[in-house]
Structure 1
Amino acid sequence: MNRVGGFLLIMLIAVAITAGMAFLLYRDELGRLRDTVSRGSLVAKLDIGQIEYADKGAGVPLLSIHGAGGGFDQGLALAADLLGGGFRVVAPSRFGYLRTPVPKDASPAAQGDAHAALLSRLNVPKAVVIGVSAGARSAVELTLRHPDKVAVLILVVPALYSPTSPVSIDVGRGNKFAFWAVNAGGDFAWWVAENIAPSVLIRFLGVRPALVAAAPQAERDRVMSFVRSVEPLSLRFPGINIDSAPELHELPLEEITAPTIIISARDDLFNTLPAAEFTAGKIPGAKLVVHDTGGHLLVGRVQEVRKAIRAFLGGVGLTLSGQ
């Protein structure tokens, strides 16, 4: 074997060893993630089907409805980040996420009915309801279809109907890769991107990577925690598939009587601001809070968002403990 051939052989062996080590790391981490999401939740068998949920904390009942790529775990994290303490948090996994199967009717209206049934099963007569991103759809349906269940409605970066400028996602080169990973239910592809090119996934989640790069370390850690929370992607893919092809239409928002606060950002790469403005204009007395920057994950705005929400809750007579 000549010198070039020997060098190529060494390179091939090095690549094979590196790939093998990477796969072992991936397998161990995926196993840990699967174990994590298999615990910390319960399953309610309701007339409408099986619904996974977590029930944590004590205080004012809060139904925390996660967005696309989530599950009960994301619902818990969002409640902690955006609202703080003083709540009994009920966080369901929506249709197609983790241990909640996809029913024949997976519409936001059916999901709203599922939320109401879960609250009834848990003997929660009325709750503060927060719907984030795609979770805002079933939060609104719950409020319209079961108004007696909703004390306050909170919509954050809501992926709702807008007649002029719909919610959308940029189909750039990086997002095409992320779309492929999601559509393939590709745990390994997501994990590789997370470790090698996290900026691709950050943009896919609706945030400019430069905004995250300039944020304090704690905020960068929060964003990466959110990126990692999408894994195992394969256990969330059926739900992502539902959320990715919504049949959005105008709803009778003027019938909502619950006190409502809506929060979005001008630089949200999912373009939720027009929907937030339209919704706020239709719901009587709704309060709209718009941040100039923050993106879909409200980078650098979490403390402001929490302060605004808690002040709003106090203004409608809800007394909270904790921060």
Structure 2
Amino acid sequence: MTQVSELIGTPFGGLEYAAAGHGDPFLMIHGTGGGFDQGLRFGQAVMAQGFNIIAPSRFGYLRSDYPSDPSPARQADALAALLDHLGIERLPVAGGSAGALSAAQFALRHPDRCSALILLVPAMNLTGEDPVEFTPLQRLVVNQLLTSDVWFWLLSRATPDQLIGSLLATDPRLLRTVSQAERERARLILHEIMPVSARTRGMLNDGHYAGSPADIDLNAITTPTLIVSAEDDRFGTAGTARIIAARIAVARLIIYPTGGHIWLGRNDELADEIAAFVRGEGV
């Protein structure tokens, strides 16, 4: 997906974003390994439903700065500054994976600007234990991958299925059961992590906040919220999604039986659910 991004100044430094599509504005916040490009990728099917997708790069990703306080709460405030720049008063806000933390903080800190909240495969530590446990060897390998363009490029071409299973937390056997368009989407999500070196700081920050106990009062969120996960997500977000749904007063929960962390095979179905939820602004 070739898209030109823009860079604006905020109280937290430079913030990169891109926009695509026509219709009502919709803020799509990317997950770990992303940037504005992944946000547009996640929002592509929603865009086809008649929305203008606004996709920022979070702190430490691509051209966005890394402030002294790179917390999800500060990221939410930076996103409010982006809306000020764009002249947008209120819109639906979606966050995928580690981006769900910033999306939830936005709904909590700027409720008058968030018409609907969508949390996709939310990577939040709500139990005091990191749901993703690595052995020391696995952590060494992952850290090497996430700090080296060369190693990532080599392994993404030599063993793409293994990276889909580990970094994208999705059973690669699902690739044989889904459409060509969905197989291509998985390949592009993996490919668009490159260049890793332009995303390393953001990914390490995500690892810290997604693995640490989440500092957020979900019970205080009053925005109508859609929470989505898959039972076979290897990052364990189905359990997290259930906890979130129990804590937010106005919530709709969707747990797909399969699809992994990138909801493989569910993209069009999910876009239908999101569009219906947003347009109804309720459960």
TM-score using structure 2 length:
0.92
Q: 1:159 to 1:250 in 2, by over 3 A?
A: same
Paired position in structure 2 for 1:25: none
Offset at 1:216? 2.7
Q: 1:218 to 1:89 in 2, by over 3 A?
A: closer
Cα offsets for 1:273-302 (capped at 9, x unmatched):
111111111111200000111100111111
Q: Structure 2: which amino acid aligns with 1:194?
A: S
Paired position in structure 2 for 1:64: 28
SS of aligned partner of 2:43: helix
Q: Distance in 1 between matches of 2:98 and 2:240?
A: 12
Q: Structure 2: which amino acid aligns with 1:276?
A: A
Moved more, 56-65 or 169-178: 169-178
* Residues 166 and 275 in structure 1, CA contact (< 8 A), matched pair in contact too: no
Query: Is structure 2 residue 37 aligned with structure 1 residue 73?
Result: yes
SS of aligned partner of 2:270: helix
Q: Structure 1: which amino acid aligns with 2:234?
A: L
Q: Distance in 2 between matches of 1:255 and 1:268?
A: 27
Pairing partner for 2:108 from 134, 137, 144:
144
- Structure 1 residues 74-223: aligned runs within 5 Å: 74-82=38-46, 84-163=48-127, 166-171=130-135, 177-182=141-146, 185-204=147-166, 205-223=168-186
Offset at 1:107? 0.5
Q: Structure 1: which amino acid aligns with 2:165?
A: R
Q: 1:67 to 1:276 in 2, by over 3 A?
A: same
Q: Distance in 2 between matches of 1:82 and 1:179?
A: 33
Paired position in structure 1 for 2:239: 274
Q: Distance in 2 between matches of 1:240 and 1:176?
A: 15
* Residues 63 and 128 in structure 1, CA contact (< 8 A), matched pair in contact too: yes
Paired position in structure 2 for 1:19: none
Q: Structure 1: which amino acid aligns with 2:236?
A: N
SS of aligned partner of 1:128: strand
Kindly tell me the number of residue pairs found equivalent between the two proteins.
279
What is the percent sequence identity of the aligned residues? 40
SS of aligned partner of 2:262: coil
Structure ID, larger Rg: 1
Q: Structure 1: which amino acid aligns with 2:214?
A: H
Cα offsets for 1:87-135 (capped at 9, x unmatched):
1221110000000121000011110111111111111101110000000
TM-score using structure 1 length:
0.81
* Residues 175 and 203 in structure 1, CA contact (< 8 A), matched pair in contact too: no
* Residues 42 and 53 in structure 1, CA contact (< 8 A), matched pair in contact too: yes
Q: Distance in 1 between matches of 2:128 and 2:273?
A: 28
- Structure 1 residues 41-52: aligned runs within 5 Å: 41-52=5-16
Pairing partner for 2:279 from 300, 314, 323:
314
Offset at 1:58? 2.5
- For structure 2, which runs of at least 5 residues remain unmatched after alignment? none
Cα offsets for 1:176-202 (capped at 9, x unmatched):
5343211xx211111111111111210
SS of aligned partner of 1:245: helix
Offset at 1:209? 1.5
Offset at 1:146? 0.8
* Residues 8 and 16 in structure 2, CA contact (< 8 A), matched pair in contact too: yes
Q: Distance in 1 between matches of 2:46 and 2:229?
A: 13
SS of aligned partner of 2:101: helix
Q: Distance in 2 between matches of 1:104 and 1:209?
A: 38
Paired position in structure 2 for 1:263: 228
* Residues 64 and 92 in structure 1, CA contact (< 8 A), matched pair in contact too: yes
Q: 1:206 to 1:157 in 2, by over 3 A?
A: same
Q: Structure 1: which amino acid aligns with 2:154?
A: V
Cα offsets for 1:205-237 (capped at 9, x unmatched):
101111223333222111111110100111111
Q: Distance in 2 between matches of 1:172 and 1:75?
A: 31
Offset at 1:165? 5.9
